[in-house]
Chain A
Amino acid sequence: MALEDICGFKNSPLHRKLSPASCFEDTATFLHMNDNSGTLLNFFMPSFLSSAAFTCRSLAKPSLTVRRPFNLSHGTTTLGFIFQGGVIAAADTRASAGGLVACPFVHKISPIHSHLVVTSSGSGADCMLWERILRREIRLYQLRHSRCLSICGTAKLLSFMLHPFKGTDVCVALTLCGWDKELIYVCSDGARLQGDIFSVGSGSPYAYGILDGSLRWSLSNEEAISLAREAVFRATHRDAYSGNHVDLFHITAQGWSQREREDLKEEYYRDKKRKMTIAEDRKRLTELEVLG
């Protein structure tokens, strides 16, 4: 992207031949985006496929696009919530490709700038790319306007950038977690929701089960972090597509801070031991009652 700009590639006749931009001219949202949008959209147009198949919303023409080896679904557990001490973002670290664990040590939470962190879910490649694009756009905004774009503005920008790709195979669901206690969920089918608690991915129902019961505004920092860890742990226990480790980020007015990555296998054995000691204590108590 940057190299293309510097070389002036977009003005060359080869670029114009390879990436016809005419198919995007009638999309309403294309018009409001300024100069860098031309580079952005043209970059993703495949030159060898007919553009009609790529931009057509209807699913009636699968033959022209590449066949997928597995179903694109969100095999992950990510969560974010707001409490009195700021915002917590947590995610597992497993990247799955169908039934295979493609990588057990992926970073699903990445910082955009010092006070904004994004958790990703969906296609790994798409998420990495769109995080990078978002980082670039935010940095450009910062340089042009000498102030940080607000989280709402960031979410809206991301949502508008993703809109032309609605109906294609782009699959991203990002949760922006920022200072000033805001949490916004943006997804490639166009949803943009602001809220206090979000969990995304195949493990999210399990995580909601833990969070909805125990989340309170007045939690201390330690309690909130252990709640997030517990929610991801329970989700990874039940969901086959989540697992390995848990990443935890804590965002406050001073910026984000990352905790050390924790192995959930250890957590599983700790939890088992805890339950065993509880069972033993209860057995001992009932024995004492029987005797006494």
Chain B
Amino acid sequence: MEYLIGIQGPDFVLVAADNVAASSIIQMKHDYDKMFKLSEKILLLCVGEAGDTVQFAEYIQKNVQLYKMRNGYELSPSAAANFTRKNLAEYLRSRTPYHVNLLLAGYDDTDGPGLYYMDYMSSLAKAPFAAHGYGAFLTLSILDRHYKPDLTREEALDLLKMCVEELNRRFILNLPSFSVRVIDREGIHDLEKITPSTK
């Protein structure tokens, strides 16, 4: 039902998420933001079971901030991703596992941009592009076909628009708009929301 996508370029990461918050067959909100800002250059995109997403994401967000307050410097994206995965793994075999699927996107001043794919079984993989949700089945092949490691921001945005158009054409559910953000050396930038054109 929900959709997340991330594309990593040579010096940026482009991420997008749909804006629907649904409850059974009803869209309760059309402008819901699924991205959580962990630090100046790290975003956590979180989808999954209703309450688990916000609880888990806010827990990670506050802990990353706490690390910065205690130690005086921020966690790198790789460290934040591993910390998140460790928490997911700990709760996995408890009585209250969190059913959430995540994308963590960040820019490290030494290592450059990074995109990390995590799922509810607490797997972690660093990937050049990734997607979550039923929409991923439709769009991963498009990403495989057109992705290049040295793509520019415009090319990445075009690739994202191609994926969104495909969802609009073939996906059974209506996803009317997507929030888009870019992370680079300067930080997190909001881009214009994408609304697929009706055919």
Contacts from A to B (Cβ < 8 Å)? 23, 26-29, 52, 55-57, 159, 163, 166-167, 185, 187, 189-193, 195, 198-199, 204-205, 208
* Closest residue on chain A to residue B51 by CB atoms: A190
B50 on the interface (CB 8 Å rule)?
yes
Chain A residues lying within 8 Å of B28, measured Cβ to Cβ, are 185, 191, 193, 195, 198
B33 to chain A, nearest CB (A): 11
How far apart sit A26 and B91, CA to CA, in the bound complex (Å)?
Answer: 10
B51 touches A56 (CB 8 A): no
How far apart sit A137 and B168, CA to CA, in the bound complex (Å)?
Answer: 46
A190 touches B21 (CB 8 A): no
B95 on the interface (CB 8 Å rule)?
yes
Q: Which 3 A-B pairs have the closest CB atoms?
A: A190-B51, A191-B50, A189-B50
Q: Which of B52-60, B118-126, B132-140, B144-152 contacts A (4 or more CB under 8 A)?
A: B52-60
B25 on the interface (CB 8 Å rule)?
yes
B21 touches A191 (CB 8 A): yes
Chain A residues lying within 8 Å of B155, measured Cβ to Cβ, are none
Contacts from B to A (Cβ < 8 Å)? 21, 23, 25-26, 28-29, 32, 49-52, 54-55, 59, 94-97
Chain A residues lying within 8 Å of B54, measured Cβ to Cβ, are 159, 190, 192
B55 touches A57 (CB 8 A): no
* Selected A-B contacts with CB under 8 Å, 24 pairs: A28-B59, A57-B95, A57-B96, A159-B54, A163-B55, A166-B51, A167-B96, A187-B50, A187-B51, A189-B50, A190-B49, A190-B50, A190-B52, A190-B55, A191-B50, A191-B51, A192-B51, A193-B21, A193-B32, A195-B28, A198-B28, A204-B26, A205-B26, A208-B26
Chain B residues lying within 8 Å of A23, measured Cβ to Cβ, are 95
List 6 extra interface pairs beyond A29-B55, A193-B32, A195-B28, CB under 8 A: A28-B59, A57-B97, A159-B51, A190-B52, A205-B25, A208-B26
* Closest residue on chain B to residue A199 by CB atoms: B26
* Closest residue on chain B to residue A162 by CB atoms: B51
How far apart sit A26 and B90, CA to CA, in the bound complex (Å)?
Answer: 11
